[in-house]
Amino acid sequence: MNKLFLVSAGPGAKDLVAPRAIAAINTCSDLVAYGLYLDLLGDICIGKNHHDLPLGEEVGRARLALDLAASGKNTALISSGDIGIYAMASLVFELLDQQGGNQHATEPHESQSQWQDVEIEVIPGISAMQAGASRIGAILGHDFCTISLSDLLTPWQTIEKRIYACAEGDFVVSFYNPRSRKRDWQINRARDILLKYRPAQTPVLLGRQLTREDESIITTTLEALDAKDVDMFTLVTVGNSESRSIIHNRSSWIYTPRGYSKKL
Amino acid sequence: MNKLFLVSAGPGAKDLVAPRAIAAINTCSDLVAYGLYLDLLGDICIGKNHHDLPLGEEVGRARLALDLAASGKNTALISSGDIGIYAMASLVFELLDQQGGNQHATEPHESQSQWQDVEIEVIPGISAMQAGASRIGAILGHDFCTISLSDLLTPWQTIEKRIYACAEGDFVVSFYNPRSRKRDWQINRARDILLKYRPAQTPVLLGRQLTREDESIITTTLEALDAKDVDMFTLVTVGNSESRSIIHNRSSWIYTPRGYSKKL
């Protein structure tokens, strides 16, 4: 078959995985993923060949998945969230592009690599920002953006330019990879830039291990956002200048209006 | 129970609906949604009370859903895509906020409306941009934003400010509501702004009726993007300055690199 599925495992909860993702995994003999994601998916992974590589070995993981598929094994490369959003799908296509000798071409041309017969299917999934928004209301209710704060692959200058653009455009913003063991100042720098443009009381969501057993949901404000409350398992979503915190039925909610109030 | 589920029905295909959404609908006696969405969901909607209202009656639909739940009927308000992204969730919270008398409050306080006992649960889903990206590769592979081009509720000045911010930040961008019967120039204006900042050959996806029976996928370039090829069922996603078109295994793909090439 030479088929490689790029599978989205969703934020964590089994009942937020699309049936199409489960069906794809069922047709595969080989799974390439962190062990944690396989644990989250549960029984459907039993009896498959598992291939794991240490954190940080993304390139190796993508190559391995392509090699397995090229050797005739139906293979699933699995990422949590949506595999197309800050996950492995982009890297697979980057490898195909480079192997095809396309990197300096102005027109696309046929790949000639050892992976040329691999048939690719991408299966979308629910990303962390959506899981987080759903737990606290509708903070993504109007125009929004996502920014990864990891400067491993993107120069900080580019990231900071995007934070300024996000602030000037008054976008709701979800920060992925807000902090790691070695990166601790980026989220505070992002907060300081946003504070120049939107109110100190702008609602903020800190969602940790979303939809998983040890989920933690904290709602705070932009001025109170601090790196000490954030780790590599946290999604940080900051509202726009019109986002509001309300209490309904003894729970706190955050929503971003689309502007119906003029009509109400 | 007084429970109101805000349910995401996904882009269209049944196997992209989260099991949690199906489970929620199963517990409900009353469904509030466009008839089309109920058709897409299929058999699970049989035997429920359907409540439909004409297109454009969003406020009436949200009020009806809250009223049904307040009267003791387990109710699902259903939107296609993710109900938290350009859909009904935000409006429900906007109504709760206004009924609670919160609209001029600086601190959140308890709602006192006829809806105060309604328990709300939001169920996230796969949005059109994710379905579109998955069909053509990984165009959302790096920082991105979403902008609705509908100026029914948002002044065009605000929308244009966001297009400029998106352009300056070099975000991949998905345009929702790119065109309607009465609005035909906005997508071309957006194209012209983006062309000042990113290459004419920047890859563009036009995804119409994504994952549905009459799905159409067109990949084009920023300079060739034109309102004549876009309607109200089309999602338009424009790559950033680094997005690339490639051909692999006789298919066209678009991806946005995260920057691994420096490591390859």
pLDDT in tens, chain A (264 residues): 699 999 999 999 999 999 999 999 999 999 999 888 888 888 889 899 999 887 778 999 999 999 999 999 999 999 999 999 999 999 999 999 998 765 444 455 555 578 999 999 999 999 999 999 999 999 999 999 999 999 999 999 999 999 999 999 999 999 999 999 899 999 999 999 999 999 999 999 999 999 999 999 999 999 999 999 999 999 999 999 999 999 999 999 999 999 887 777
pLDDT at B105 over 50: no
Output b/e per residue, B6-32; b: 16+ Cβ within 10 A: bbbbbbbbbebbbebbbebbeebebbb
Q: Given this model, what pLDDT does residue A39 score?
A: 81
Distance from CA of A59 to the nearest CA of B (A): 8
Higher pLDDT pick, B36 / A169: A169
**Beta strand B30-32 with B49-51: parallel, antiparallel or unpaired?**
parallel
Model confidence at B37, in pLDDT bands (50, 70, 90)?
Answer: confident
Residues B169, A162: C-beta atoms closer than 8 Å: yes
Q: How confident is the model at residue B38, as a pLDDT?
A: 82
- Mean pLDDT, range B45-72, rounded to an integer: 91
Contact A84 B141 (CB under 8 A): yes
Joined together, the tokens standing for residue B122 give: 């939001």
Judge whether A51 and A64 are in contact, CB under 8 Å.
yes
Q: How far apart are CA B47 and CA B49, in angstroms?
A: 7
Mutate: best of A83, A246, A263, partner B, most B CBs <10 A: A246
The alpha-carbon gap from A90 to the nearest alpha carbon of chain B, in Å, equals 5
Collect all residues of chain B within an 8 Å Cβ-Cβ radius of residue A14.
19
Find the Cα–Cα–Cα–Cα dihedral A154, A159, A162, A167, rounded to 10°. Answer: 160
Pairing of strands B119-123, B144-148: unpaired
Residues B122 and B22 occupy one common structural domain: yes
Give how far the C-alpha of residue A121 lies from the chain's centroid of Cα atoms, to the nearest Å: 18
* A118 plus A194 within the same structural domain: no
How does DSSP assign B197-233, residue by residue?
Answer: TS-TT-EEEEEESTTSTT-EEEEEETTT--GGG--TT
Residue B96 and residue A246: Cβ atoms within 8 Å?
yes
Instruction: Single out the residue of B150, B255, B171 nearest to residue B205, CA to CA.
Output: B255
Give A-chain residues touching B249 at CB under 8 angstroms. Answer: 111, 116-120
Question: Which residues of chain B lie closer than 8 angstroms to A96, CB-CB?
Answer: 246, 248, 253
Inter-CA distances, B213 with B11, B14, B33, B216, Å: 12, 11, 20, 9
Residue A134 shares a structural domain with residue A188 = yes
Q: Find the mean pLDDT for residues B58-83.
A: 96
Ranges of H-type helices in A171-223: 186-195
Asked if B147's CB is within 8 angstroms of A255's CB, the reply is no
Q: Which residues of A touch B19 (CB under 8 A)?
A: 14-17, 19
- Average pLDDT value for residue range B67-77: 97
Same domain, A151 and A234: yes
Q: Indicate if the pLDDT at residue B67 is higher than 80.
A: yes
Q: Which of A61, A91, A126 is the last residue of a domain?
A: A126
Q: Taking the CA atoms of chain A, what radius of gyration do you get in angstroms? A: 20
Residues B10 and B114 in one domain: yes
Pick among B6, B90, B252 to test the A interface (most A CBs inside 10 A): B90
Residue of B nearest to A166 (CA): B165
Nearest-CA distance from A7 to chain B in Å? 10
Q: Which residue of A has its CA nearest to B202?
A: A106
* Predicted local distance difference test score (pLDDT) of residue B104: 47
Chain A residues touching residue B154 (CB < 8 angstroms) = 142, 258-259
Domain that holds residue B165: 129-262
Within 8 A of A124 by CB-CB distance, chain B residues are 16, 126, 130-131, 133-134
- How do residues B119-153 score in pLDDT, each as one tens digit? 999 999 999 999 999 999 999 999 999 999 999 99
Sign of the alpha-carbon dihedral angle for A73, A78, A84, A86: negative
- Beta-carbon contacts of residue B58 (< 8 Å; ≥ 6 apart): A260, B88, B91
Q: Are residues A109 and A139 in the same domain?
A: no
User: Which residues of chain B does A250 touch, with a Cβ-Cβ cutoff of 8 Å?
Assistant: 110
B147 and B230: one domain? yes
Q: Say which residues have a Cβ less than 8 Å from residue B167's Cβ, sequence separation at least 6.
A: B193, B194, B196, B197, B198
Report how many Cβ contacts below 8 Å link chain A to chain B: 297
Name the domain boundary from B108, B126, B144. B126
Whether the predicted pLDDT of B259 surpasses 90? no
Euclidean distance between CA atoms B53 and B56, whole angstroms: 8
Strand (E) positions, B40-183? 49-51, 75-79, 119-123, 137-138, 144-148, 172-176
Q: Which residue of B has its CA nearest to A109?
A: B247
Residues B113 and B156 in one domain: no
3-state secondary structure of A190: helix
Q: What is the pLDDT of residues B147-189, one digit of tens each?
A: 999 999 999 999 999 999 999 999 999 999 999 989 999 999 9
CATH number at B117 reads 3.40.1010.10
Which of A70, A93, A126 delimits the end of a domain?
A126
Same-domain pairing of A150 and A31: no
Q: Are A15 and B20 in contact (CB < 8 Å)?
A: yes
> Do residues A144 and B90 lie in contact, with contact meaning Cβ atoms separated by under 8 Å?
no
Contact at CB, B247 and A110, closer than 8 angstroms: yes
B140 and A16 in contact by Cβ < 8 A? no
C-beta atoms surrounding B39 within 10 Å:
10
Count of domains observed in chain A = 2
Cβ–Cβ of A146/B143 closer than 8 Å? yes
In this predicted structure, what is the pLDDT of residue A104? 47
Residue pair A52/A34 in contact by the 8 Å Cβ criterion: yes
Same domain, residue pair A36 and A114: yes
Here the CATH number for the domain that contains residue A169 is: 3.30.950.10
Work out the minimum CA distance from B206 to partner chain A, whole angstroms. 17
Q: Are residues A85 and A96 in the same domain?
A: yes
Distance from CA of A24 to the nearest CA of B (A): 11
Together in a domain, B154 and B166 = yes
The C-alpha of A88 sits at a distance from chain B's nearest C-alpha, in angstroms, of 9
